[in-house]
Amino acid sequence: MKALTSGIRRFVVTLSRIEDAPVAISLSAFCLSLMALLYVKDTYFGFVSFRPFFERLLWIFLIFVPIIVTLYQKKRSFQQISLLLFIPVVASSAVIVPIASRADIFWHEILMGYLGLIFCLAVLMRVQYVVHHLFSKDALRIVGGIFILVLIVFVGGDSFSLILPVGLRSHLVRTSPIYYLEFFQRGLVPASFALYAGLVYVISEIIVKVRSHRRTSAKKISQRKKLAVLGISFIILLGIYVQDKTSLYIDFSGSRGYSVSSLLKDATKEAKRKQTLYVFISSSLPARYVFTRSIIVSLVTQLRSSSLDVVVLDPHADSLARQKAERYQIPSLDLQDSQLQSYTSTTAFFGAALLDGDKVVARIPTLLNLENVHYDLYRAFKSQGATKKRSLQLLGFQDREGDRPNFSGLYRRAEQLFSIIDTPATGSASLEADATLIRVQADTSYAQAIPDFEDYIARGNRLVMLINGVGLLSGEKGLAIKEAKHGLETFLNDYGISMKKSILASQFSEIVPFSTEYGQQLKPYPYALKTNKIQVVPKHTEVVMPWASPLSISGASGISHTVLVTSQKATTEVVGVGTVLPQVYKPENIEQEYILGAEAKIEGNGGSLVVLGSEYMAHDNYVAATPGTYDLLAGVVAGKDAVDLGVGLKHQLWHVQSPRPFTRSDMSMTLCLIGVIVPSGLLVFAYWLGKTEYCMY
C-alpha cells in the first residue's frame, strides 16, 4: 500500500509539471483519436483492421522514442520516460474491447496484440537507452537512435528475406522484437519472449555499466564480474534455443480464454517442424508469369507466418537451382503445349517443393497462382490422405472452434479458401453442375477448360465471365497486348474517365478479346480491358444463370449498361433485361488507385444476385459470377434473398457480420471501459513506480 501511495504521488507530480504534461497528453490524444476514427469507420462501414494501426503506431514510436529519451534523460529518470510512452498505449486500448464485442472477434486476442506492442516498445526504449550512453551529443543520439531502431524493425520484417541466406535469416530474425510481436498479434504468448527480454536487459546493462565505468574510473572490471556476465548471457541464450525447439506458448486465440500448449504434442508435432519451401521461378517465363519483387516478398511474408522457410530460386540463371528442381522432380513448363503461340520461350520452371529436412513432403509441379500457394500445398497434403484439419496444421494454421477469424488474418483467409472445397453448395445448383457449365472451350487462343470449379475458385481467381455459355478466365492468363492505347481510351471515355487523369492509363496489362460461341465478337466494343485494378465490361453482355427462373434486374439511373440474363438450359432465351450502375471504389491505404465496379440487385423466384466489390468469397453458396472489375465478386444465392457476400480488400483482416448504427449501449460500454482500463493501467504503473528507487521529482 505504501508503494502504491508513493507511486500515485509521483505520478501526479510528474504529470503536473508543465514540461511533462504536453508530451503525455499529445501522445494519448493522438492514439485515442486514431482509435476513435477506426471505431467510427468500422461501425458504419463494417470493417475492422487493426494491423495498420499497430504498424503506424510502431513507426511513430520509432521517431518519438529517441527524441523523448534524449531530451528527458538529463533531468528525468528512465522510469519517467517509460511512463510518458506507456500512457497512450494504455489509453488507446480502451476503444478495443467495444469493437471486439460487436465484431465477432476474440477480445483477448486484441489485448494480446496490445501487450505485444507494449513489449516491443519496451525493447525499443531499452535499445535507445543504450544508444543514449554511447553518444555524447544529442544530435547523434537522435539520429543514431532512429537509425538503429529502424534497422531492428527492418531485420524483423521481410524486406531483407531475399538478401540473406535462409539459415542466417532464420536466426537473425529472432533478434528483433517484431518477430515476437507477430506471435502476440495472433493471440499467442511465447515463453521465449521473457528470455528475450531478459537477454536485452542484461546486454543493455552490461553496455551501459561498462561505458559509465570507463568514463568515471580508470580501474578495470574484475575478471569475476566478466565471467558472471558471460555466464548469465549464455544461460539466457541457451534458454531461448531450448524454448525455440519446444515452442511452449500460452494460447489466447481460442474462445475458451487461454490454454498452455506445446507444439511437441502428438497432434501437432509435425506442424512446427522446420520445413523449407523451395519456389522455382524461371526468369525466362513469359510476360504473363512475370512477378514483381513485392509479390514475392508478400509470398515470403505469408509463408513465414506459417513457420515455413521460403527460398526463391531461378533455374534459368542458376544451374544449381535447375539441378535442385530436377532432383525434386519439378517438371519444366512446355509453353508450346499451352497454346501460347505468341510466346517464344520453350521451357521454364514454375513450381515448388516442400522439404522436411531432405525429404520431399509435398510437390507442386506447376503453380497456377503464386499468391495462393497455400492452396497448392493444401491440395498436396490432402492428396496424401491428410484430413482438412491435419492439412491446415501442416501449413501452420492453428485449429480453433467455430469460424471466428484469427488475429493474424491468415487463418481466416485459409478458412475462406478451403471451406469452399469441403462444403458442398446448397440450393437449386451444385458445384458439379456449375463445373459442367464452365467446362467449355472458349473461342480464344488462351482460354482453357477449367478442370475443376472448386479448384479454380479456391485458387483465388476472383472472376469467371460466362458469356453465352463460354467461360472466359480473368486470372493471370491472357493474350499479348492488342490495340492497348485505343482500347483503353475507348473504355475509359465510355465511362466518363479521362485517360490523362487516370493513373490506370499507365497500368494496363492486356486487352483480352472475347467472343460468343458462334465466333461473333460482342458489339459495340469487342475488347474487355484488363488491368491490375480495373476491368471494364462492354455495354451489352450476356450472363448465363444456372436456372431458368424469370429474373428481374433492378438498377439505378445514370451511367449504366444493359445486362441480358439467360438461363442455363436455353442459352438463347432472354429471361431478364435491366441496367447496372457502375461505381468507383477507392480502397484504403492505396493512393490514386480506383476500382471501377458495378452494384446491382437481381431478384427472381430461384434466388438473388448481389454484386459487391470484394476480394474474398464469404458464402458457401457461391454458384455463379457476372462481369465486373478485377476485384469484383458477384454471387447467386439459391433460394434466398439478397445476401451480403462480404466486402473486403487485401489489406483488411476481419469481416464484420453486419454494420449497424452507433447506439447508446456502445457509448456506455466505451465510457465504462475508458473509466476502468485506463485507471487500472495507471495504478499498476503507479505501484511499479513506487517500488523503484529513483526519484522522479
CB atoms within 10 A of CB 464: 22
Is the alpha carbon torsion for 222, 225, 230, 231 positive or negative? positive
**Distance between CA atoms of 369 and 356, rounded to whole angstroms?**
23
Mean pLDDT of 167-191: 70
Is the alpha carbon torsion for 481, 487, 489, 492 positive or negative? negative
- What are the cell numbers at 124? 525499443
176 has a pLDDT exceeding 70? yes
- What are the cell numbers at 152? 531492428
639: left (phi over 0), alpha (psi -120 to 50) or beta: left
Residues 6 or more apart whose CB falls under 8 angstroms from that of 650 comprise 615
pLDDT band, residue 137 (cuts 50/70/90): confident
**Distance between CA atoms of 24 and 64, rounded to whole angstroms?**
12
* pLDDT-above-70 percentage for the chain: 16
> What tens digit of pLDDT does each residue of 21-65 get?
555 556 566 666 655 555 555 444 434 445 555 555 666 666 666
Residues 6 or more apart whose CB falls under 8 angstroms from that of 480 comprise 287, 342, 510
**Distance between CA atoms of 465 and 445, rounded to whole angstroms?**
16
DSSP run (H or E) holding 259? strand 259-262
Is 193 within 8 Å of 248 (Cβ atoms)? no
SS3 484: helix
Range from 279-283, 353-357, 665-669 carrying the lowest mean pLDDT: 665-669
Superfamily of domain 273-370: Glutaredoxin (3.40.30.10)
Residues 6 or more apart whose CB falls under 8 angstroms from that of 534 comprise 504, 594, 595, 596, 629, 630
How high does pLDDT run on average in the chain? 48
Q: Does the N-terminal peptide bond of residue 405 adopt cis geometry, omega within 30 degrees of 0?
A: no
**Distance between CA atoms of 524 and 307, rounded to whole angstroms?**
52
Question: H/E/C letters for each residue in 434-463?
Answer: HHHHHCCCCCCCCCCCCCCHHHHHHCCCCC
406: left (phi over 0), alpha (psi -120 to 50) or beta: beta
> What tens digit of pLDDT does each residue of 459-495 get?
333 222 222 222 222 222 222 222 233 433 443 344 3
- What are the cell numbers at 618? 464469404
pLDDT of residue 389: 52
> What tens digit of pLDDT does each residue of 586-614 get?
333 333 222 222 333 333 333 333 332 22
Q: Among 397, 394, 418, which Cα is nearest to 406's?
A: 397
> What tens digit of pLDDT does each residue of 211-256 get?
766 655 545 556 666 666 677 667 666 666 665 555 565 655 543 3
Q: Among 334, 69, 10, 292, which Cα is nearest to 162's?
A: 292
- What are the cell numbers at 669? 460500454
Q: Among 201, 188, 206, 282, which Cα is nearest to 236's?
A: 201
198 has a pLDDT exceeding 70? yes
Q: Among 508, 517, 510, 524, which Cα is nearest to 481's?
A: 510
Mean pLDDT of 344-364: 68
Q: Among 412, 630, 450, which Cα is nearest to 536's?
A: 630
Q: Tell me the domain boundaries of the chain.
A: 2-189+661-691, 273-370, 431-652
CB atoms within 10 A of CB 47: 21
**Distance between CA atoms of 195 and 491, rounded to whole angstroms?**
60
